[in-house]
Chain A
Amino acid sequence: MSELEYPNDLSYTPEHEWVRRAADGVVRVGITAFAQEALGDVVYVSLPKVGDALATGDACGEVESTKSVSDVYSPLAGEVTGVNDDLERTPELVNSDPYGQGWMFELRPSDPSDLDALLDATAYKNQLG
């Protein structure tokens, strides 16, 4: 089995999501290589709507494989500024490119310092065991 990757420039949550700082104070959110591997073939993704106000830990979407379904949680409090519409037609991007084309949504955090509470790559890998 190929070694799963956890890029050092991302932040992570214990719920197996990653957070990337993008331009203009916005962050991009997706699920980790571990999460997509555990789910298997992703066949359906439902996402929040642009403009949704989310609290940290809100279940704001679902990612579903042939076998199971998992909630997508908001890693931070903030407002949704964008969603990855490509996942409607090609949900398999979550498997093939979880940190790139398989991203899920973008959020403007209410308090950017909340980002500091997330895990770095080393801490995330450590909690995977």
Chain B
Amino acid sequence: MTDDALLRSPLHDRHVALGAKMADFGGWEMPIEYPGGGVVREHTAVRTGVGLFDVSHLGKARVSGPGAAEFVNRCLTNDLRRIGPGKAQYTLCCDENGGTVDDLIQYLHGDDDVFLIPNAANTATVVDLLKAAAPDGITVENLHDRYGVIAVQGRKSDEVLRTLGLPVDMEYMSFVQTQWRGRPVMVLRSGYTGERGYELVPAWDDAGPLWDALMEALEPYAGLPCGLGARDTLRTEMGYPLHGNDLSRSISPVMAGASWAVGWDKPEFWGRSAVTQQRAEKTGRLSRGLLATDRGIPRPHCPVTSADGAVVGEVTSGTFSPTLKQGIALALLDRSVAIGDEVVIDVRGRAVAATVTKPPFVAVGVRES
């Protein structure tokens, strides 16, 4: 794919003006890091203060019409009946084999209105699947280029939002449909960093002025604009899965440790019989954390062996933890491997010792009130 074919965020010109390094994320040309920042500094800004992310490449879709919530609940894994209007929920879209088509956030506006944030590369697939399954009267719209998404993450994010007069301090995974300068914006307390923070969903054309105001509001708190490079190190420290690495058509919710996001009591959701069977069989590999005790950085697809040299799994995500200054990874491991075991990661032919852990790798404040 050439650069010309990449889609662009409503904030694209602002990233270019800041001198950001841009790269392809799910078909979108997005910032990896900004000059004067760099992944480590941007990461640290979020862990110690506040950072601002453009995540407008994320998909947006709406399912509406009488019984929309009930319809979504028959398709996606999590149980929408566990939450009320004004709440959002992490959920998964599975195929009939139990593979994971996507992981997404569903915002419950009401019985007749559910807003979805799928991953950039999977949005069209999820929308097509929902459209094909939707009964008469239910509308599924792909709104990918109708909204921007800006994440404000870090313990100082309340101060930044307050500067703009935006609502703060709602419960974790609660959202408010509000206005900023007379224009609608959705504010959800959530994020992908493990820190206290918010995700803002303005209309596409309103994203620029909102970004500018947030950039100005960051200054007193030494906040930084952060690229998707830092977003990846932050989410890996939390053990949050990335679709395409830690979740995929061949990695089920059971394997990925996302069983908590499955409504097992529901009579129906896509892939229900396959994932239910997997859950009962207790045979597939499971996602675990690996903390490198040698110097070295695990990367996706690095083989993992036990102390006696037998292959017991494979890295799905790996990076350098800027907080711990150590290599960290998520890996799918055989069930014979226990938390606390010592294993060896084959990093391009070099043996890197690691301890099997249960993420997160760092202490975090995402849910703190």
CB-based nearest A residue for B236: A66
Could you tell me if A69 and B295 are in contact, using CB atoms closer than 8 angstroms? no
Could you tell me if B40 and A43 are in contact, using CB atoms closer than 8 angstroms? yes
Q: Of A40, A62, A64, A88, which one neighbours B229 at CB under 8 angstroms?
A: A40
CB-based nearest A residue for B233: A66
CB-based nearest B residue for A65: B39
Could you tell me if B322 and A69 are in contact, using CB atoms closer than 8 angstroms? no
Contact residue range for chain B? 20 to 34
Could you tell me if B319 and A66 are in contact, using CB atoms closer than 8 angstroms? yes
Q: How far is the CA of A88 from the CA of B35 in the complex (A)?
A: 25
Within 8 A of A (CB), among B122-176: none
Q: How far is the CA of A35 from the CA of B350 in the complex (A)?
A: 23
Could you tell me if B19 and A44 are in contact, using CB atoms closer than 8 angstroms? no
Q: How far is the CA of A95 from the CA of B41 in the complex (A)?
A: 13
Contact residue range for chain A? 10 to 19
Could you tell me if B39 and A66 are in contact, using CB atoms closer than 8 angstroms? yes
Known: A40-B21, A40-B38, A40-B229. A66 touches B322 (CB 8 A): yes
Q: How far is the CA of A66 from the CA of B43 in the complex (A)?
A: 11
Q: How far is the CA of A41 from the CA of B319 in the complex (A)?
A: 12
> How near does chain B come to A79, taking the closest CB pair, in angstroms?
22
Known: A66-B229, A66-B322. A41 touches B295 (CB 8 A): no
Q: Is the CB of B261 closer than 8 A to any CB of chain A? A: no
> How near does chain A come to B254, taking the closest CB pair, in angstroms?
30
Q: How far is the CA of A1 from the CA of B297 in the complex (A)?
A: 29
Q: How far is the CA of A67 from the CA of B28 in the complex (A)?
A: 18
Q: How far is the CA of A62 from the CA of B257 in the complex (A)?
A: 33
Q: Of A64, A88, A95, which one neighbours B297 at CB under 8 angstroms?
A: A64
- Residues of chain A within 8 A (CB-CB) of B38 are 40-41, 95
Known: A67-B32, A67-B39, A67-B229. A44 touches B322 (CB 8 A): no
Could you tell me if B35 and A1 are in contact, using CB atoms closer than 8 angstroms? yes
Q: How far is the CA of A40 from the CA of B32 in the complex (A)?
A: 10
CB-based nearest A residue for B350: A46
Within 8 A of B (CB), among A13-66: 40-41, 43-44, 46, 62, 64-66
Known: A66-B322, A69-B297, A88-B295. A40 touches B39 (CB 8 A): yes
Within 8 A of A (CB), among B182-231: 229
Q: How far is the CA of A1 from the CA of B38 in the complex (A)?
A: 13
Q: How far is the CA of A66 from the CA of B237 in the complex (A)?
A: 13
Q: Is the CB of B87 closer than 8 A to any CB of chain A? A: no
Within 8 A of A (CB), among B300-358: 319-320, 322, 325, 327, 348, 350
> How near does chain B come to A84, taking the closest CB pair, in angstroms?
15
Q: How far is the CA of A67 from the CA of B23 in the complex (A)?
A: 12
> How near does chain B come to A16, taking the closest CB pair, in angstroms?
16
- Residues of chain B within 8 A (CB-CB) of A67 are 32, 39, 229, 232
Could you tell me if B296 and A44 are in contact, using CB atoms closer than 8 angstroms? yes
- Residues of chain A within 8 A (CB-CB) of B29 are none
Could you tell me if B32 and A44 are in contact, using CB atoms closer than 8 angstroms? no
- Residues of chain B within 8 A (CB-CB) of A88 are 295
Q: Is the CB of B299 closer than 8 A to any CB of chain A? A: yes
Most A C-beta atoms less than 10 A away, residue of B21, B40, B232, B296: B40
Q: How far is the CA of A43 from the CA of B44 in the complex (A)?
A: 14
Instruction: Give me 22 A-to-B residue pairs in the complex whose CB atoms sit less than 8 angstroms apart, sorted by A's number.
Output: A1-B19, A1-B35, A40-B32, A40-B38, A40-B39, A40-B229, A41-B41, A43-B40, A44-B295, A44-B296, A44-B327, A62-B348, A64-B320, A65-B39, A66-B39, A66-B40, A66-B319, A66-B322, A67-B32, A69-B297, A69-B299, A95-B38
Q: Sort A-B residue pairs by CB-CB distance and give the 9 closest, nearest first.
A: A66-B39, A43-B320, A41-B40, A41-B38, A1-B19, A41-B39, A1-B35, A66-B320, A64-B297
- Which residues of B are at the interface with A, using a C-beta cutoff of 8 A? 19, 21, 32-33, 35, 38-41, 229, 232-233, 295-297, 299, 319-320, 322, 325, 327, 348, 350
**Given A43-B40, A65-B39, 8 new contacts (CB under 8 A):** A40-B38, A40-B229, A44-B295, A44-B297, A46-B350, A66-B320, A69-B297, A95-B38
